[in-house]
Structure 1
Amino acid sequence: MAFMEQQPQQLTGRKPLLDDTLPLSAVIEATQSLQSHTEYIIRVQRGVSSENSWTVGLPTFCLTIVIRRYSDFDMLNNSLLISGLSLPLPPKKLLGNMEREFIAERQKGLQAYLNYITRHHILSSSEVVKKFLDANNYSSNYTGWRLRKRYFLVKDKAQPKEKLVLSWVDLGPDKFLSDKDLQSAMKLLPNLSHSYIAPVSFATTSESSALIIRGFSEKGTLRDHIYKVKPKEPFLKKYCNPKKIQGLEPEQIRNYGRQILEALKFLHDKGFPYGHLHASNVLLEEDTCKLLEIENSVLGLPSYYRPYVTQFRKINTTESIDVYAFGHLLYEMTYGRPPDSVPVDQWPPAPFSSVGQFHSELKDLFSNGSPFQSGGAGTANTVSVLQSILSTDACKTGMPSVSQLLQTHLFNDVLLFNSEKPQFKISSRLKEALKLSRESLEKRLVEEQRTVCAFILIHQHKRLTRAQSHHGSEEEKRKRKMLARKKSRQSTYEIEEDLSVKCNNNSGGFLFSSLSTIDEKKLTYGQ
């Protein structure tokens, strides 16, 4: 069936650029029963602002009616089964599925299903879920998690044996460079040379999109290596519910982490924003890591971890976003999977003894000083670095810098053998343009963080108000009085029962004492 819902858009000459990392939430507001089936009317909201909400299936304003039946949910569920997750879709029912009680119960089950898939980081970012909730903006087919990005395998006629990947991507909502400055920045990318940054063969832009060509790796990315999967397998199948969970060897973690930090420091020193570090954006060639997609930030594409970052107001710069993302990556390298939630304060058992021995040092580490001090032996280690980035205190107070991470004992003595001299010349004019663009990007992030924090506070206040109102209602007062009376009667009964038992015990003791006295007298008289 056709999906034709339409969102209200601003009447501007240029179509507004969507932030695909903003989470979609969905609420089933009503149902309507036809002759042989039931339709579910769903309100979908992008982010936390109610201005970004629309209704799927409700014939109001200029919105087109779109039907969401149980069969649509079933089709969505079948598409998501490749993830290997156990999804809570209510079961089918052939008879009695038009009864009012059953429809109400199924609506609750479908709402729980929507809550599950919209709160799962990977599922909520997937193409099929976006299409199900917002088909108007997600009508094309994509590869990987990044929507609006297409990949093609190409070859150079001069070198037909060399495989290349051509990526075509629409510009994002964080694009603040002028078209001229953006074109200049993209032309610089093929000239960038660094041991730990994947080279770009060709890069160019148009008014609305960009084209990049780089080498193709048969072995895949660092995430493919961690999860022991093949690069060409479907994204959901590879990463959503990995079967083999095993972290990297401690020495690999140290080497890869040091290489990635060196690449980040180089970009930060050059004033070139990145903000897109994750395991799928790290190419692994033998024992060398190389960053991918360094063009994403200047193209205005939001970060993979943006839904997390918007919750923490201290993570408000591109550098701190990179450090936060490095914490996720370090966790994934250590434990073989991403953290279930952030902040992380309960650490799972370490898979290697060399990592596990660090747990006993954590108490001394944080009682004696900063994990970045270089004096005490054994103070800088994997778990302490993870705590300095992903713990509750770190997310509230702020991230360490890349330079501080390089000074920890986990990375400061790692030997680097690549002797390639980095090269990346940026004109002073373009540096200034990149600086202004970065400031605009950070300003938008801060505004969104304020909105999210305000929404959380309002939501908490509403919950508290509802709880207080419910607690003070006449019905609740009556229930509490009845419960108090019941407890009072029960306690009275227990007291009476205890007194009865004591009386019985005392009377029995008195009788036994009297009989003993009589027997003693009889024995005396018998002598």
Structure 2
Amino acid sequence: MENSWQIVRRYSDFDLLNNSLQISALSLPLPPKKLIGNMEREFIAERQKGLQSYLDVITTNHILSNCELVKKFLDPNNYSVNYTEIALQHVSMFFRSEPKWEVVEPLKDIGWRIRKKYFLMKIKNQPKERLMLSWADLGPDKFLSDKELQCAVKLLSACSHPYIYKVTFATANESSALVIRPFNEKGTLKDLIYKAKPKEPFLKKYCNPKKIQGLELQQIKTFGRQILEVLKFLHEKGFPYGHLHSANVMLDGDACKLLDLENALLGLPSFYRSYFSQFRKINTLESIDVHCFGHLLYEMTYGRPPDSIPVDSFPPAPSLSVVSVLESILSCDAMKNGMPTVSRLLQMPLFSDVLLTNSEKPQFKIPTKLREALKIAKECIEKRLTEEQKLIHQHRRLTRAQSHHGSEEEKKRRKILARKKSKRSTFESGEEHSAKYSNSNNSAGSGASSPLTSPSSPTPPSTAEHASF
């Protein structure tokens, strides 16, 4: 796996990208223009460093790195298709067979996905009622057959649950799917948190909110409980989800209602995939839902997403019970040991005392054959994730080894070892030379009949002689 690539771009291309990203209201560190001396070698090297820093900032921002502008800039060959045109073609074909619908306006860039487009709709004989049509291409995790997919998508309009947003119409073919829902002027849970207008572009709404403020404790408790209840319901039904985030939760009165159940059926990647694919303990769709719930709970609590995952320490929250739940999902220990279950979360003090008043009886009948197909698809999705996590893990180990090998500390250590080895070699070769010299001396007199003897010591004078003297 590669974690870097090379791009050949002029400064003017960077400038154009930067202008396009101004909608995010983020202050991005693009190096300034220079009219005179901009071809000097030192300046070019300095600018190259600055542009690299600029790209680092963009690619580490979760929202910016996923936006079409950035992807097209970094990888134009793989992102050259105009999905708005493709979506319009599919929607036009749909209207030929369903003439009662009419497009009011395209809702440009309101979502984060490149291959998903939105349109504001109306029914011709009910001109005041507004609906939202979403069109999406199929993704890499589409493991249902075309027939199974069509059956599963059509089933969405028959699903009834107090915390699932109503689907008015849904259909799919061999290449894409189209879903129509009522348009909600209030917007999503993310719109509530960020105080945003639903129709505005995703980058404008969520990249840099003017005021960062979490929700009230009671809202956190109630919304959290409602979302956990619907996740539990889907898990029990064997229906894969894996796409929970605050923009996929619609506000309908005092209730939170889950959106985009079709995403898993179509095989689309999760908004948080780049996070949970780093941790091998998050390897089932249930654990993915719990991990995503952790992100959502953090956002509800603090009014912004976490800076990084895992979270080392949590800021003060409206209640310690909130922090307890967050720690069980987003802490270092949670990443090492695995996610709690949805049932376990429902038993935690933050949610266990929430009284849900909605009396609507959930209904979602999935035929046995389709349920089996969904089970197989779920296993395939999890298998692909596990393989991806394995590759990431191997790549990390390799990168760490290379980084360690090239570090200054390691270079010094290797120099010291080399010096010691050199000294040892010199010493050993000296000893060897000395031994050879000694052997050559010994072998030089080996031809004489008797060995050479040293002169005898003089005999000491006797005592008698001393006395007579």
Q: TM-score under structure 1 normalisation?
A: 0.72
1:129 to 49, 67, 70: 70
Q: Which residue does 2:26 correspond to in 1?
A: 85
> What is the identity, as a one-letter code, of the residue corresponding to 2:406?
R
Aligned pairs for 1:185-264 within 5 A: 185-264=152-231
- Structure 1 residues 54 and 254: CA distance shift in structure 2, 3 A: closer
- Counterpart Cα distance in 1 of 2:418 and 2:54: 35
Following superposition, the deviation at residue 238 of structure 1 comes to 1.1
1:341-389 CA deviation, whole Å, 9 max, x = no partner? 1111211133x4xx2xx2xxxxxxxxxxxxxxxxxxxxxx111011000
Matched, 1:321 2:288: yes
- 1:338 corresponds to: 305
**Structure 1 residues 476 and 94: CA distance shift in structure 2, 3 A:** farther
1:298 aligned onto 2:239: no
Residues 134-145 of structure 1 mapped to structure 2, 5 A cutoff: 134-139=75-80, 140=82, 141=84, 143=109, 144-145=111-112
Q: How far off is 1:138 after superposition?
A: 2.5
**Counterpart of 1:410 in 2: which secondary structure?**
helix
Structure 1 residue aligned with 2:447:
none
1:267 aligned partner: 234
Q: Identity of counterpart residues, as a percentage? A: 67
Q: Residue 124 of structure 2: which of 145, 148, 157 is its match?
A: 157
Q: Are residues 1:308 and 2:275 paired?
A: yes
Is 1:385 matched up with 2:352?
Answer: no
Aligned to 1:443: 383
Per-residue deviation at 1:136?
A: 2.9
Give per-residue Cα distances to partners, 1:403-431, cap 9 Å, x unaligned: 11111111111111111111000111111
1:239 offset after TM fit, Å?
0.6
Shift of the 54–248 alpha-carbon distance from structure 1 to 2, 3 Å rule, reads closer
Alignment partners' CA distance in 2, 1:121 and 1:330: 17
Counterpart position of 1:457: 397
Deviation at 1:258, TM superposition (A): 0.6
Provide the rounded CA distance (Å) in 2 between the counterparts of 1:186 and 1:472: 61
CA distance in 2, matches of 1:92, 1:191: 57
Q: Shift of the alpha carbon at 1:159?
A: 2.2
Distance 1:193 1:302 in 2: 25
Q: Aligned partners of 1:263, 1:88: CA distance in 2, in Å?
A: 42
Do the aligned partners of residues 75 and 476 (structure 1) sit closer, same or farther apart at CA in structure 2, a change above 3 Å counting?
Answer: farther
CA distance in 1, matches of 2:45, 2:358: 64
CA distance in 2, matches of 1:269, 1:443: 20
Task: Point out the structure with max Rg over C-alpha.
Answer: 2
**1:245 to partner: Cα distance:** 0.7
| Per-residue deviation, residues 477-506 of structure 1 (Å, max 9, x unmatched) | 99xxxxxxxxxxxxxxxxxxxxxxxxxxxx
- Among 45, 67, 70, the residue aligned to 1:104: 45
The DSSP-based 3-state class of the residue aligned with 1:297 is helix
Per-residue CA deviation, residues 74-118 of structure 1 (Å, 9 max, x unaligned), is 111111122122211111100000011111111111111111111
AA of the residue aligned to 2:172: T
Q: For the residues of structure 2 that align with 1:341 and 1:77, how far apart are their CA atoms?
A: 24
| Gap change, CA 1:403 and 1:473, over 3 Å in 2 | closer
- Checking the alignment, whether the CA contact within 8 Å between 1:470 and 1:476 is kept in structure 2 is no
Supply the distance in 2 between the matched residues of 1:445 and 1:341 (Cα, whole angstroms).
21
Runs of 4+ that moved beyond 6 A: 473-478
The equivalent position to 1:116 in structure 2, one of 40, 57, 72, is 57
1:347 maps to: 314
CA separation of 1:472/1:399 partners in 2, compared to 1, >3 Å: closer, same or farther? closer
Aligned to 2:442: none
Deviation at 1:185, TM superposition (A): 0.4
Secondary structure, counterpart of 1:200 in structure 2: coil
- The match for 2:430 is none
Shift, 1:469, TM fit: 5.0
Give the structure 2 partner of residue 426 of structure 1. Answer: 366
Q: Which residue of 2 aligns with 1:284?
A: 251
Quote the Cα distance in structure 1 between the aligned partners of 2:2 and 2:39: 35
Separation in structure 1 between the aligned mates of residue 45 and residue 21 of structure 2, nearest angstrom: 25
Structure 1 portions without partners, runs of 5+: 1-47, 58-67, 359-380, 479-527
Picking from 143, 165, 170, the partner of 2:137 is 170
Q: Which amino acid aligns with 2:343?
A: S
Shift of 1:127: 1.3
Aligned to 1:503: none
Deviation for aligned residue 1:393:
0.3
> Is the Cα–Cα contact under 8 Å of residues 471 and 477 in structure 1 kept in the other structure?
no
RMSD: 1.8
SS at match of 1:110: helix
More helix by share: 2
* Distance apart, 1:234 and its partner CA: 1.9
> How much has 1:273 moved relative to structure 2?
0.4
Q: In 1, distance between residues paired with 2:158 and 2:48? A: 56
One-letter code of the match for 2:327?
A: Q
Partner of 1:370: none
Aligned length: 392
Distance 1:474 1:261, change over 3 A: closer
Counterpart amino acid of 2:66?
S
* Equivalent residue letter for 2:294: G
* Partner-residue secondary structure (3-state), 1:293: coil
Structure 1 residue 49 displacement after superposition: 3.9
Q: What secondary structure, in the 3-state scheme, does the structure 2 residue paired with 1:160 have?
A: strand
What letter corresponds to residue 154 of structure 1 in structure 2?
M
How far apart in 2 are the matches of 1:334 and 1:54?
37
